[in-house]
């Protein structure tokens, strides 16, 4: 089932609350917490560089011949523009696939708390493993993407959550075989509005003691009552206690509540999310999607066998 090109889809992930657990070993480092994976996500197309050049590439990823030749490295595009994502480069290096052309496409806002960097890393791991026939297992690939994301300081828990799908609870931090996950059963519409960026690196680089204490409290609440409403309740408490709530978000959460709904802030971004039609009911013009049941997966394009 391998090929010289492959495509993976990875759901977006909004973190409701978390506690940071850094460690020297990136497989051990990570976060506890909970969040929601979204049917809005990231599609990653990987082609085995030179092998594709002869045939051309529908995604236009390999159009820039000058750039591609010489260094033996493939190109990365983000929504069609040449660019680079550190965690993606590290995943390709780990899989001995630096010749890959990688096309990352997403409708999600970048840097706004949707785990786009983790999704790009995980999608690259799944698609490159298939395109280059590396024969790694799912746990191996999730671990490689998790280590790359943690190593770049761009996230701690998105990758393992995005691999599982649904509404993941991160009971113990770390890569598969080290960390531990549970989930809240449920299917629902999810609405979100983004007001701009918030730097994950800055927050995670600062003193995370108070934040982590608030995250542990929120996790205890959710484990005692694993329901979607408890997730948003605990998330609001976390945002307050960790002093991360920004004015636009606080206002939106209040508006949703007075409209009879439930909303919370996505960590870490200037993003508010709600289940059902909470944000629409409050008069916002949100993006709408659903909880993603599947988690990260390879997808067939044209039913390739």
Backbone angles phi, psi at 171, to 5 degrees: -70, -40
Tokens linked to 180? 């531990």
3-state secondary structure of 189: strand
Nearer to its own copies, 240 or 304 (CB): 304
Nearer to its own copies, 79 or 300 (CB): 300
Yes or no: say if 143 and 173 are a contact pair by the CB < 8 Å rule. Answer: no
d(CA 257, CA 275): 12
Nearer to its own copies, 112 or 159 (CB): 159
- Cβ burial of 261 (10 Å; 0-12, 13-18, 19+) is buried
Shortest Å, Cβ 246 to its own copies: 27
Backbone angles phi, psi at 232, to 5 degrees: -70, -40
Nearer to its own copies, 182 or 287 (CB): 182
Shortest Å, Cβ 289 to its own copies: 13
Shortest Å, Cβ 241 to its own copies: 23
Task: Catalog residues that contact its own copies under the rule CB under 8 A.
Answer: 1-2, 126, 129-130, 135-139, 141, 165-166, 169, 176-177, 180, 182-189, 223, 225-228, 275-277, 293-295, 297-300, 303, 305
d(CA 298, CA 180): 23
Shortest Å, Cβ 292 to its own copies: 9
Nearer to its own copies, 187 or 199 (CB): 187
- Alpha-carbon torsion 94, 95, 98, 103, what sign? negative
Beta-bridged to residue 272, according to DSSP, are 193, 265
Closest CA to 19 of 185, 198, 179, 253: 179
Nearer to its own copies, 48 or 78 (CB): 48
How many Cα atoms are found within 13 Å in the side-chain-facing hemisphere of 168?
32
Yes or no: say if 100 and 132 are a contact pair by the CB < 8 Å rule. Answer: yes
Shortest Å, Cβ 245 to its own copies: 25
Nearer to its own copies, 222 or 242 (CB): 222
Shortest Å, Cβ 294 to its own copies: 4
Yes or no: say if 195 and 246 are a contact pair by the CB < 8 Å rule. Answer: yes
Shortest Å, Cβ 116 to its own copies: 21
């Amino acid at each position: 089932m391998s090929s010289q090109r492959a495509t993976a889809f990875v759901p977006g992930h909004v973190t409701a609350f978390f506690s940071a657990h850094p460690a020297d070993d990136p497989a051990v480092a990570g976060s506890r917490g909970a969040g929601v994976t979204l049917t809005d996500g990231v599609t990653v197309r990987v082609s085995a560089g030179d092998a594709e050049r002869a045939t051309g590439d529908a995604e236009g990823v390999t159009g820039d011949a000058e750039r591609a030749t010489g260094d033996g490295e493939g190109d990365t595009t983000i929504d069609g523009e040449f660019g680079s994502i550190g965690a993606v480069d590290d995943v390709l290096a780990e899989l001995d696939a630096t010749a890959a052309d990688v096309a990352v496409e997403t409708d999600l806002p970048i840097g706004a708390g949707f785990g786009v960097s983790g999704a790009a890393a995980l999608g690259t791991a799944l698609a490159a493993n298939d395109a280059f026939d590396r024969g790694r297992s799912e746990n191996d690939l999730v671990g490689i993407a998790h280590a790359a994301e943690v190593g770049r300081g761009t996230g701690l828990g998105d990758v393992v959550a995005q691999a599982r799908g649904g509404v993941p609870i991160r009971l113990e931090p770390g890569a598969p075989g080290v960390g531990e996950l549970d989930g809240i059963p449920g299917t629902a519409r999810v609405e979100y509005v983004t007001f701009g960026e918030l730097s994950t690196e800055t927050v995670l680089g600062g003193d995370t003691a108070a934040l982590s204490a608030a995250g542990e409290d929120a996790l205890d609440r959710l484990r005692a009552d694993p329901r979607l409403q408890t997730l948003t309740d605990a998330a609001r408490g976390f945002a307050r206690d960790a002093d991360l709530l920004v004015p636009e978000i606080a206002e939106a959460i209040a508006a949703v509540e007075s409209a009879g709904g439930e909303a919370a802030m996505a960590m870490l971004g200037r993003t508010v999310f709600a289940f059902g039609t909470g944000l629409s009911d409050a008069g916002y013009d949100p993006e709408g999607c659903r909880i993603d049941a599947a988690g990260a997966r390879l997808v067939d394009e044209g039913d390739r066998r």
